[in-house]
Amino acid sequence: MGDNGDALLNRKSNKFQRCVSHTHDELQIFRSYLRWMFVDQSNVWRACLSWCMFILFGIVVPAISHFVFACATCDGNHKRPYDSVVELSLSSVATVSFVCLSWFVRKFGLRRFLFFDKLYYESETVRREYTAQLNRSLKILSIFVLPCFFAESVYKIWWYTSGFSQVPFVANVYVSSTVACILELCSWLYRTTVFFLVCVLFRLICYLQILRLQDFATVFQVESDVASIMSEHLRIRRHLTIISHRFRGFILWSLTLITGSQFALLLITTKSSAAVDYTHIFRVGELVLCSITLVTGLLLLLRSATKITHKAQAVACLATKWHVCATLESFDGTELDSPTAQIANDPAFYFNTDEESDGDLVSDEDNDLENTKMVPSCSSHTISYQKRQALVTYFENNKAGITVYGFTLDRTTLHMLFMIEFSLILWLLGKTINGIS
């Protein structure tokens, strides 16, 4: 089998020096981030602080902002007719995200929740790349949050500085406006970051399963034991089932709330009795920003789920190719005089795709499992045809993936949901941009 085969056969003995959570382990930076976000609930004190901050920035500040600073008597530029739906949408999604994240960390612990306690079963490549992806997760989170926060900051600062004389204040107008502006920005940043944090964590966990499937694909090159292949696939299926059960509530609630918020915004902006002047970007800018933020997080969730489902289902194609290559090799070994016997001398079985241009392929990333070369090992012909056929039948009838209460999140589901959500966004932008132009 060579060095790769030995590494695969012995990878269960290649364990981390420890598998118990430690203060200075690879999750140290991530734990620090959770503490700064006030979502760390590792003890009673931090749990109380976390819930207090959530109630403050997730419920109290948005409520005060809507009922106190609604500013019905303000001029046309400073009225916020969509503030109720915007605040309710962000707070509801943040509530679901915070409750789910609190339950994840409290019930499983951060290390177990991110499957770091299971990494000692994996190869060195999977451990290294998964740890590197963990370190990149905070950068990915910043990429999603910071541009939207910058746009929100520009709007809020303008709103308070240009209309401070119309906004209710306590004692000093400048101090009151400054404090109110900072609280509103902190509330928006907190709610948006909590939502995207759960989305990024889901993406990170799905990335681990992709690494495991890519590592699993190599067993068809060096492994000759059908039982061990099935055992490894069952382990991957079990982990995908665990992920589905943990996140199905969050995915379903996020989909329901975000879709409902888009319908509510559409009803408010398009109803015939709405006395809204669309010539002011200041009135519609905040609701467009809210819609883009929520839908982006939802698409991140769905893309991560459908991607790992596609990878898991591609294993059946890979097993079928392996079965065909092994069958051809066994026949070529008994028909030495046949012209097809020359195929057995090739270093690998693969389909020639050099004639196809890069534009004909969806992406190299999506086809890395299907393009795996079948390297015939000296013991591949020892597996009987019936065993290989049984394994292929098993893969065809036991397709793994992310499910939500029995519904598989594959590409067909993603296309359907994308068209619904994107149609709502286009309708909303059409109503606003057409009025502005």
Please provide the DSSP assignment of 208-250 as one string: HHHHHHHHHTTHHHH---HHHHHHHHHHHHHHHHHHHHHHHHH
Cα-based distances in Å from 184 to 69, 79, 191, 406: 11, 16, 11, 40
Measured CA to CA, the distance from residue 82 to residue 70 in angstroms comes to 10
* Residue-number span of the structural domain to which 62 is assigned: 2-436
What is the pLDDT confidence band of residue 201, given thresholds at 50, 70 and 90? Answer: very high
Amino acid letter at 221?
Q
Measured CA to CA, the distance from residue 364 to residue 155 in angstroms comes to 41
Is the pLDDT at 176 greater than 50? The verdict is yes
Q: Which pLDDT score is estimated for 349? A: 43
Quick one: which of 183, 78, 196 has its CA closest to 138? 196
Q: Which pLDDT score is estimated for 72? A: 63
| Cα first-last separation, the chain | 67
Q: Which pLDDT score is estimated for 5? A: 47
Token reading at 384:
């009987």
Q: Is 43 exposed, middle or buried (0-12, 13-18, 19+ CB in 10 A)?
A: exposed
Residue written as token pair 């079963």: 121
Quick one: which of 230, 236, 203 has its CA closest to 304? 203
Measured CA to CA, the distance from residue 207 to residue 203 in angstroms comes to 6
Measured CA to CA, the distance from residue 49 to residue 54 in angstroms comes to 9
Beta-carbon contacts of 70 under 8 Å, excluding residues fewer than 6 positions away, are: 80, 83
Measured CA to CA, the distance from residue 346 to residue 149 in angstroms comes to 57
Is 234:284 a contact under the CB 8 Å cutoff? no
**What is the Cα gyration radius of the chain?**
27
2 or 164, greater pLDDT: 164
Query: What does residue 154 show for φ and ψ, rounded to 5 degrees?
Result: -60, -45
Helix H or strand E segment including 53? helix 44-54
Amino acid letter at 63?
A
Instruction: Catalogue the long-range contacts made by 422-429 (C-beta closer than 8 Å, 24 or more residues apart).
Output: 424/259, 424/262, 424/263, 424/266, 425/262, 425/291, 425/292, 425/295, 427/266, 428/262, 428/265, 428/266, 428/269, 428/287, 428/288, 428/291, 429/288
- What is the DSSP secondary structure assignment for residue 383, as one 8-state letter? S
**Length of the chain (residues):** 437
Measured CA to CA, the distance from residue 329 to residue 344 in angstroms comes to 6
Is 173:164 a contact under the CB 8 Å cutoff? yes
| pLDDT average, residue stretch 288-298 | 89
Is the pLDDT at 147 greater than 60? The verdict is yes
Measured CA to CA, the distance from residue 299 to residue 291 in angstroms comes to 12
Beta-carbon contacts of 76 under 8 Å, excluding residues fewer than 6 positions away, are: 277, 280, 283
What is the pLDDT confidence band of residue 106, given thresholds at 50, 70 and 90? Answer: confident
Is the pLDDT at 339 greater than 60? The verdict is no
Instruction: Catalogue the long-range contacts made by 174-182 (C-beta closer than 8 Å, 24 or more residues apart).
Output: 180/65, 180/69, 181/156, 181/157
Measured CA to CA, the distance from residue 97 to residue 201 in angstroms comes to 11
Q: Is pTM, for the whole model, over 0.85?
A: no
Our count of domains for the chain comes to 1
Amino acid letter at 39?
V
What is the pLDDT confidence band of residue 195, given thresholds at 50, 70 and 90? Answer: very high
Is 50:41 a contact under the CB 8 Å cutoff? yes
Is the pLDDT at 285 greater than 50? The verdict is yes
What is the pLDDT confidence band of residue 320, given thresholds at 50, 70 and 90? Answer: confident
Token reading at 421:
């959500």
Lowest mean pLDDT among 5-19, 197-211, 396-410: 5-19
Q: Which pLDDT score is estimated for 245? A: 93
Is 315:369 a contact under the CB 8 Å cutoff? yes
